């Protein structure tokens, strides 16, 4: 089966710090997305990024499909960034999720 690995599993940041989350995957990708799961459990779509680089405010993401990894950058972190971040690959009929990175931003 397709393997999706995320690192680090847990991350604690001081407010204002920057961070990089990594997603490694074992197969070619049609569709890769980054999600933030809020405290109520909803998965919020951050980026749809099968390849290349995108930016949205303090967040940006890069996927290098040929090397099978994706990175999520969070700059100037805020307490509201806390939560679990998932990457997910869609190779056809389903999304394969990583195990997530749990981020805690402390004031």
Partner 1 sequence: DTGVSQNPRHKITKRGQNVTFRCDPISEHNRLYWYRQTLGQGPEFLTYFQNEAQLEKSRLLSDRFSAERPKGSFSTLEIQRTEQGDSAMYLCASSHPTGAAFFGQGTRLTVV
Give the per-residue contact string, 53-72, with partner 1 (x = CB under 8 A; - = no).
--------------------
User: Is residue 105 within 8 Å of residue 77, measured between CB atoms?
Assistant: yes
Report the nearest approach of partner 1 to the CB of residue 18 (Å). Answer: 25
In order, the DSSP letters of 58-70 are TEEEEEEGGGTEE
- Asked if 95 touches partner 1 (CB under 8 A), the answer is yes
Residues binding partner 1: number (CB under 8 A): 21
- Asked if 43 touches partner 1 (CB under 8 A), the answer is yes
In order, the DSSP letters of 6-20 are EE-SEEEEETT--EE
């Amino acid at each position: 089966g397709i393997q999706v690995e995320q690192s680090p599993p847990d991350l604690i940041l001081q407010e204002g710090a920057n961070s990089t989350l990594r997603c490694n995957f074992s197969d070619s990708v049609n569709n890769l997305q980054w999600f933030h799961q809020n405290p109520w459990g909803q998965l919020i779509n951050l980026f749809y990024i099968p390849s290349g680089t995108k930016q949205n405010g303090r967040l940006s993401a890069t996927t290098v499909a040929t090397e099978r990894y994706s990175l999520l950058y969070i700059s100037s972190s805020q307490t509201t960034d806390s939560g679990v971040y998932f990457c997910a690959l869609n190779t056809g009929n389903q999304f394969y999720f990583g195990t997530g990175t749990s981020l805690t931003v402390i004031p």
